[in-house]
């Protein structure tokens, strides 16, 4: 209660809160009642960040009933707060002898902190130099719901990872019926003993910007495409495509080819060999 003393000053420290990271939703509130006559009793209701004044409000306090007064900070005022653990209210009353102002409570409202936005990869790209092994033991994959999916003793061997990126264009190698194929990326020597047992498949991420876009694995040793490796899509969003098991031959050199026909077009992001197991 503030009574009988003009320009009395009182200060209280507020509880610590987390920085919300936004400028909106900052509100000061005070609940009070006054008694007296003549001019209205007033209380100066100010918000400080340490010694720095953030917002000042002059409240003409009602005599008829306890009343709650609310003041929303401007964006520039909220942005001026640098330490949400050092906020203070300062009250300065203005009234005459025999008059009183009773303040029952005061509060400062700040928004909840903004939650971090999850980052989701829609098309996985493993960026390595050509022929640089990438090995993962006890691989852990975090799903969208943050539930760990653990594969024990899992070893992913990419000693001969085929990785290419760019935009499919018409090149020189003709391929039936209409696609013109071009070879991208470094050739790689297939050594069966360097790969996990079981079948291998070609996996690509690509999208068609017009018509149909194609991909396949080419055996440069035999000078022929690998049977069963042909992949194609008309999807305009990046799509993962995977072949069935491929009859790769130990000691042969392979390359990845992408293609399109006529006015068709597309883009590709990655291509790699993966285990079918």
The pLDDT of residue 131 is 47
The pLDDT of residue 273 is 82
The pLDDT of residue 108 is 94
Q: Look at residue 210 and tell me whether its pLDDT is greater than 80.
A: yes
Query: Rounded to whole angstroms, how far apart are CA atoms 265 and 182?
Result: 13
pLDDT > 70 in the chain, percent: 70
Q: Look at residue 118 and tell me whether its pLDDT is greater than 80.
A: no
Strands (E), the chain: 2-3, 9-13, 27-35, 42-49, 52-60, 67-72, 87-94, 100-109, 140-142, 148-150, 166-167, 173-174, 180-189, 200-210, 213-219, 224-225, 231-233, 239-242, 253-260, 265-275
Higher pLDDT, 261 or 83: 83
| pLDDT tens-place string over residues 55-102 | 999 999 999 999 999 999 999 999 999 999 999 999 888 777 777 888
| pLDDT tens-place string over residues 145-184 | 444 433 333 333 333 333 333 333 333 333 333 455 666 5
The pLDDT of residue 268 is 73
The pLDDT of residue 28 is 95
Q: Identify which of 189, 204, 196 has the alpha carbon closest to the alpha carbon of residue 249.
A: 189
Average pLDDT of the chain, as a whole number: 75
Tokens of 200: 């291998």
Considering 158-172, 200-214, 259-273, the range whose residues carry the highest mean pLDDT is 200-214
Among the listed ranges 3-12, 14-23, 115-124, 161-170, which one has the minimum average pLDDT value? 161-170
Q: Which domains does the chain have, with CATH numbers?
A: 7-109 (2.60.120.260), 159-275 (2.60.120)
The pLDDT of residue 149 is 36
Query: Rounded to whole angstroms, how far apart are CA atoms 41 and 5?
Result: 12
The pLDDT of residue 275 is 80
Q: Look at residue 126 and tell me whether its pLDDT is greater than 80.
A: no
| pLDDT tens-place string over residues 17-62 | 889 989 999 999 999 898 888 888 888 899 999 999 999 999 999 9
Taking residues 122-135, what's their average pLDDT? 46
């Amino acid at each position: 209660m503030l009574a009988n003393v003009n320009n009395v000053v009182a200060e209280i420290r507020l509880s610590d809160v987390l920085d919300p990271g936004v400028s909106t939703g900052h509100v000061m509130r005070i609940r009070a009642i006054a008694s007296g006559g003549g001019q209205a009793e007033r209380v100066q209701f100010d918000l400080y960040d340490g010694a720095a004044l953030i917002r000042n409000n002059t409240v003409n306090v009602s005599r008829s009933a306890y009343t709650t007064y609310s003041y929303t900070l401007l964006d520039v005022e909220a942005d001026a707060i640098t330490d949400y653990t050092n906020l203070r209210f300062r009250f300065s009353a203005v009234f005459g002898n025999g008059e009183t102002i009773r303040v029952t409570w005061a509060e400062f409202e700040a928004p909840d902190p903004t939650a971090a936005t999850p980052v989701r990869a829609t098309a996985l790209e493993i960026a390595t130099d050509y022929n640089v092994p990438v090995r993962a033991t006890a691989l852990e994959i975090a799903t969208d719901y943050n539930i760990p999916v653990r594969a024990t003793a899992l070893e992913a061997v990419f000693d001969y990872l085929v990785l290419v990126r760019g935009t499919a264009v018409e090149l020189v190698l003709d391929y039936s019926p209409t696609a013109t194929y071009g070879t991208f990326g470094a050739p790689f020597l297939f050594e069966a003993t360097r790969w996990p047992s079981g079948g291998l498949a070609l996996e690509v991420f690509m999208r068609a910007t017009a018509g149909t876009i194609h991909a396949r694995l080419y055996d440069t040793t035999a000078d022929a495409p690998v049977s069963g490796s042909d992949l194609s899509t008309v999807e305009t969003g990046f799509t993962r495509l995977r072949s069935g098991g491929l009859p790769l031959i130990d000691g042969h050199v392979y390359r990845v080819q992408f293609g399109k026909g006529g006015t068709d077009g597309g883009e590709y992001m990655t291509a790699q060999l993966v285990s079918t197991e």
